[in-house]
Amino acid sequence: MKKTDKKSPGKLSKNLKSKKTGFSIGYLLLFLVVLYIIQMFMSPKAGEISYSQFRTYLSEGKIIDCSVGEKIIRGHYDSTSSGKNKPVAFVTVPVQDLELVNELEAKNVEFKGEVENNFLRNMLMWWIFPFAIIGIAWFFISKKIGGMGNPFMSFGKAKIKLYSEEDAQKTTFADVAGCDEAKEELQEIIAFLKYPQKFQKLGGKIPKGVLLVGPPGTGKTLLARAVAGESGVPFFSIIGSDFVEMFVGMGAARVRDMFEQAKKKAPCIVFIDELDSVGRQRGAGVGGGHDEREQTLNQLLAEMDGFSSNSGVIIIAATNRPDVLDTALLRPGRFDRHITIDRPDLVGREAILKVHAKGVKVEPNGNLNTIAKRTPGFSGADLANVINEAALLAARRDKKFVEMEELEESLERVIAGPERKSRVISDAEKSIVAYHESGHTLVAAMLPNTDPVHKVSIIARGAAALGYTLQLPTEDKYLTKESEILDTLCVLLAGRAAEEIVFNELSTGAQNDLERITKLARNYVCKFGMSKTLGPQTFGRQQENVFLGHDLVQEKEFSEKTAIEIDSEVSRIIKESYAKAKSLIEENRDKLDLLAKKLEEVEVLEADQILELLNLKEEENEKSKKENLVAEKEIRQS
């Protein structure tokens, strides 16, 4: 209540001020209009008569008085003959008449000359009134459009936002998980701002810039919001694209304005999101060195480490494209620290799931560690989506808690897309899909260097998949062995091989498999240098210039003869893997039929059911127990 009472007088005075401003402007406009009308009609109304009528009245002696000007004659004439007892005003346009003055004197008419130069009326009519109307219109238009952030009405003003400490949705480091090293680096920056003497007494200087680098969805912007919540110093935020507009020089002006605002609040933090939109490498665009974006970048470089001192202003920027940034922007003295925020490991994923599950009613026995094991390669945003999808599914089913069933189903929705149960396929196509997925499952279970099959389904998911085989690794992997690549090729080709063995005919269902196979086999030869024929070398270099679509083309660094050898080697690897997959399926045809028939019947098979059908359950259970013990030991040690 006290907080509300303190704020209310300020709000009331602000409202009264705005009302007072509107009141004074409205009455000023009304006064000018009235003044203009008075000046236009200050003379009495006069009826216009022709000059010949005027001469007739003059010859009859009815003209009482008049004033003669170069362009107009005004006066009064006697109208007693028409039944009116008072003089009538008239106005007429004169012609060249040299005898007019003599006749006026002869009739004893009182006349005078008129100088047609009413300064006040002309001033009001041609200057004050038009400019007043333009000024008032400009005021209202600029107030309306400028408030919407129109760049035309806000030249050179940076669209920078000052973070409010009273923000209800305050984010702290407690809301960030899975990137402990990055949090530690940023906490040091905050400590430097709060207690600078602790570092300065040892001769340390405050860093000028911190660059957060990482794939999309790993929490770069979330970390920046946490810095805002933890810092206790003014925190400004702006998006890189807000600097550059269609007007020349506006980007550089906005950079200057941003730093001017920041200096007034120093010590403070400025966060620039999507830095790559303004910090791309110079000299590679269409406009050369005079490009507007490059002028903006030049100004940013000068402000961060130029002759002017920006002591106390720390720039934090985020990007997922560090490869396109200008080298001058990345050097020490500008962005002193580069913090990489990668996809989280097993421990990090579990911590992230717990953070996002705080506001969700998850059943007490819900095992988030199991979900973390099944989500290698997931980013923080992906994990947040898994929890949210599970909550939506539980709400749709009118459950009081989110159970493991919803968590696992949401995981599949994120990986493969939502189920499309409405898609009805014929029995013949259903059988083809069942054998195709059973081929993947069987070969994956038989080969030692593949990820275990978690689930296989012939229910359509996503845009085009009629079925899917879900393989999930048991641990995080940062290296891939040659044997794992070759076994993966066999698994990918097993679906097509099963179709050929069973139906003696191929379908288009293996299209996506073939695309992945070709890419993986070519990387095996050209990137990883694993080919025994061509030896340990790479072929084809990605061009460094990432502009104008050049990143879509690889530079050819080998002869035509080598190209033929590469194609031959890729073809050999694929054919050998296909032959191996066919051999495994032919040797275990009974197991393939068993899997396919069961799939046609129930449509979905879990890992335990698959192992039981293939008589591999006991062996797999022993293997999984050992892996779980190792994983638990690693978690305790970490």
Tell me which residue has tokens 């000024």: 135
Model confidence pLDDT, tens digit, residues 223-241: 888 887 887 778 888 887 7
User: Does pLDDT of 617 surpass 70?
Assistant: no
Model confidence pLDDT, tens digit, residues 348-371: 888 999 888 888 888 876 688 888
Structure tokens that stand for 448 in this block? 């030692």
Contact 540, 526 (CB under 8 A): yes
Q: How far apart are CA 372 and CA 350, in angstroms?
A: 5
Q: How confident is the model at residue 23 (pLDDT cuts 50, 70, 90)?
A: very low
User: Does pLDDT of 604 surpass 70?
Assistant: yes
Model confidence pLDDT, tens digit, residues 155-183: 556 566 676 555 535 778 888 888 888 88
Q: How far apart are CA 244 and CA 541, in angstroms?
A: 33
Predicted pLDDT of residue 85: 62
Distance of CA 178 to the CA centre of its chain: 23
Q: How far apart are CA 50 and CA 627, in angstroms?
A: 115
User: Does pLDDT of 557 surpass 90?
Assistant: no
Catalytic, out of 292, 294, 409, 437: 437
Q: How far apart are CA 63 and CA 79, in angstroms?
A: 10
User: Does pLDDT of 626 surpass 60?
Assistant: no
Mean confidence (pLDDT) of the chain: 77
**Residue 284 DSSP class:** -
Contact 583, 498 (CB under 8 A): no
Structure tokens that stand for 17 in this block? 């001020």
Predicted pLDDT of residue 121: 61
**Mean pLDDT calculated for residue range 109-135:** 67
Across 332-341, 386-395, 478-487, 614-623, least confident range? 614-623
Residues whose CB is less than 8 angstroms from the CB of residue 610 and which lie 6 or more positions away in sequence, other chains included: 441, 445, 453, 456, 595
pLDDT more than 70, % of the chain: 74
Model confidence pLDDT, tens digit, residues 506-533: 888 888 899 999 999 999 999 999 998 8
Task: Mark whether 437 is an active-site residue.
Answer: yes
Predicted pLDDT of residue 96: 73
**Mean pLDDT calculated for residue range 601-607:** 87
Predicted pLDDT of residue 634: 53
Question: pTM for this structure?
Answer: 0.65
Q: Identify which has the larger pLDDT, 229 or 25.
A: 229
Q: How confident is the model at residue 400 (pLDDT cuts 50, 70, 90)?
A: confident
Using left for φ > 0, alpha for ψ between -120 and 50, and beta otherwise, residue 144 falls in alpha
The full set of domains in the chain, from first to last, is 49-116 (3.30.720.210), 161-340 (3.40.50.300), 347-416 (1.10.8.60), 427-637 (1.20.58.760)
Q: Identify which has the larger pLDDT, 497 or 199.
A: 497
User: Does pLDDT of 22 surpass 80?
Assistant: no
Model confidence pLDDT, tens digit, residues 464-510: 678 888 888 877 788 889 999 999 999 999 999 999 999 999 888 88
Contact 243, 149 (CB under 8 A): no
Q: How confident is the model at residue 114 (pLDDT cuts 50, 70, 90)?
A: low
Predicted pLDDT of residue 517: 93
Predicted pLDDT of residue 84: 58
Sheet holding 468-471, edge to edge: 468-471, 453-457, 604-606
Predicted pLDDT of residue 147: 45
**Mean pLDDT calculated for residue range 535-546:** 68
Model confidence pLDDT, tens digit, residues 282-323: 776 544 444 677 888 888 888 887 655 666 788 899 998 888
**Mean pLDDT calculated for residue range 439-456:** 90
Contact 357, 263 (CB under 8 A): no
DSSP symbols for 472-536? --SS--S---HHHHHHHHHHHHHHHHHHHHHHSS--GGGHHHHHHHHHHHHHHHHTS---TTT-S
**Mean pLDDT calculated for residue range 459-466:** 72
Structure tokens that stand for 334 in this block? 């500008």
Across 133-147, 332-346, 552-566, least confident range? 133-147
User: Does pLDDT of 15 surpass 50?
Assistant: no
Q: How far apart are CA 489 and CA 579, in angstroms?
A: 11
Predicted pLDDT of residue 56: 85
Predicted pLDDT of residue 549: 40
Predicted pLDDT of residue 571: 94
Q: Identify which has the larger pLDDT, 409 or 310.
A: 409
Q: How far apart are CA 379 and CA 335, in angstroms?
A: 25
Predicted pLDDT of residue 309: 60
Q: How far apart are CA 328 and CA 334, in angstroms?
A: 8
**Mean pLDDT calculated for residue range 315-337:** 87
User: Does pLDDT of 612 surpass 80?
Assistant: yes
Predicted pLDDT of residue 285: 53
Structure tokens that stand for 560 in this block? 């035509």
